Amino acid sequence: MALRSAAVLALMAQVSVAQDTTIKAGTNVGAPQTNTYPEGGATADAGKFPPESKVGFPGPTPTGQEPAAIQTAPEYPYNNGPSHQFPLVAPQPWGKGEFGDRFDITKYWGNLSPWYSVSSADYGLPHASPQVPDNCSIVQVHLLYRHGARYPTSGAAPATFAQKLFNATRGAGFSVKGELAFLSDWTYKLGAELLTPFGRSQNFNLGIAYRQLYGHLLNNFTAAGTIPVFRTQSQDRMVKTAQNFAAGFFGVPEFLDQVNIEILVETPGLNNSGAPYEICTNSNVGSRGSIGSTAANAFANNAFNSTIARLQSQIFGVNITSTDIIAMLQLCSYETHALGYSAFCAIFSEEDFINYEYYYDLTFYYNNGPGSPVSAAQGKGYLQEFVARFTHSFPTASSALNLTFDNTTTYFPLNQSIYADATHEVVVLDTLTAFNLTALFSGPPLSTSGNQKRSKFVASKVVPFATHFTTQVLECSAYKPTRQIRFLVNDAVVPISGSHPGCPVDPNGLCSFDNVVSVLQKRIAEINFDYDCFGNYTAKAGVDYNGRAPKS
């Protein structure tokens, strides 16, 4: 027993010495690392490896009935288990005991979180489910969804931090020890903009889920002799997002000829409801559409002081700032999504991740939520398009929508039973604000000084990777009128009785379809796109503008 104790003490002493050992960083630290596959023009050879259509002999291929699990299954398949982040590895935060309560760091990454099912109870409907209520049947579904996990955008904080370390090695150099010892040979392995393998799987699995839930609505296309039009933007990740969703929904290679994927050009100066910031010039003005970014950075300047002090004691030759802390937290998120694991995650505490989430809460609440003066204007395009589909009439040109494509049933069909539009998270939140779904934001405006936990809005619940906003149109025999509608965000049914006049309190979040359409038409009329996007005014964080510009 004494020998065993001595061995344990000796091992602990070795670990302590290793943690205190200062390591000189290599000269390649922070350097970007890339791989290209396939190299040298290598490509699949269809001549030597012909496809199924050429080989033949497929065997029996009878089809079964389309699934309708949204109204036939006894319960709903919530995405609240390990599958929402498989096969990613997310360690417990710094200072967390191995046998204590588990803390899921991935739910504190704001818009970089993987999506997970949110409870309807979070918004005041404890008994509501996405499952179609009794005595109702689904008639139509509208889906607005975000791309899955991606690399950072070009020039974002992670690459800037990597360059900072690389520059330090070109000067006097730097040294690290303890928890930061891994930085001695760390290199930057992330690309930019593109979907990661996990991101592709998120959209593919979403497509599978919606085929299982709503597949029976394809029978309407079969009866009409048509196929759906699904829409996306021209950025590579957006095209791949729509393709992966379609592959999950229709199968591979069936999606290639069972759906029309409409690709709308995303570029500055060109109208596109999926990228309204390209023409809404106020969206990038610091005193207007970007007040959330300013508020979030100001919060970060004071929120991580103890963490900066702890980490600064373990790195010599590089000054750690709050900007670097956000960059390293983002590296935790991005490397996990892209590489499966990140050493950066283990150096941050539970409190750090909570503050990281609030950093994003502030960003999105004031850039694209009710605290933004441009969000309703930017979401107006999709709002108009949804209402146009509801009413079987083309929209007018009073937003960022592209009327060239929205005035013909070829590109903007008005009678589909399934719609699916892919976009970015900022536009999803703009749209939710334009729809005036205030239950998502109930409570006072977010405090810029710290999280007072008085608001319902949490960015990771509303704008994570692969977030989706679903509108169900139903026929309900027990309701008068029988045509009803309701809205869901990541499986949470969102009540509208407090935001849409004429909608009663309903345990299932339902309201008369005609009444909701009327309310949304009035909302369209009140959103002044030209003033909000091009007007001269000043906005500030700390105010709930309901997504509209102040008249100042």
pLDDT digits (tens, 9 = 90+) for 338-348: 999 999 999 99
Task: Give 488's pLDDT tier (boundaries 50, 70, 90).
Answer: very high
> With 50 as the cut, is the pLDDT of residue 487 above it?
yes
Q: Is the pTM of this model over 0.85?
A: yes
> With 80 as the cut, is the pLDDT of residue 8 above it?
no
As a 3-state breakdown, the chain gives helix, strand, coil percent values, each rounded to 5, of 40, 10, 45
Q: Please give the angle made by the CA atoms of 529, 141 and 274, to the nearest 5 degrees.
A: 35
Q: In this predicted structure, which of 49-58, 288-297, 325-334, 438-447 has the lowest mean pLDDT? A: 49-58
How many beta carbons lie within 10 A of that of residue 30, not counting itself? 22
Mean pLDDT of the region 462-471: 98
> With 90 as the cut, is the pLDDT of residue 484 above it?
yes
Count Cβ atoms within 10 A of the Cβ of residue 167 and give its class: 0-12 exposed, 13-18 middle, 19 or more buried: exposed
Tell me what the pLDDT averaged over the chain comes to: 94
Task: Give 457's pLDDT tier (boundaries 50, 70, 90).
Answer: very high
Report the distance separating Cα 400 and Cα 378, nearest Å: 7
Q: What percent of the chain has pLDDT over 90?
A: 87
Question: Does residue 70 contact residue 215 with C-beta atoms inside 8 Å?
Answer: no
> With 80 as the cut, is the pLDDT of residue 168 above it?
yes
pLDDT value, residue 203: 98
Look-up of token digits 């930017």: 378
Task: Give 100's pLDDT tier (boundaries 50, 70, 90).
Answer: low
> With 60 as the cut, is the pLDDT of residue 267 above it?
yes
Report the distance separating Cα 289 and Cα 375, nearest Å: 8
> With 50 as the cut, is the pLDDT of residue 99 above it?
no
> With 50 as the cut, is the pLDDT of residue 356 above it?
yes
pLDDT value, residue 12: 46
pLDDT value, residue 5: 56
Question: Does residue 470 contact residue 95 with C-beta atoms inside 8 Å?
Answer: no
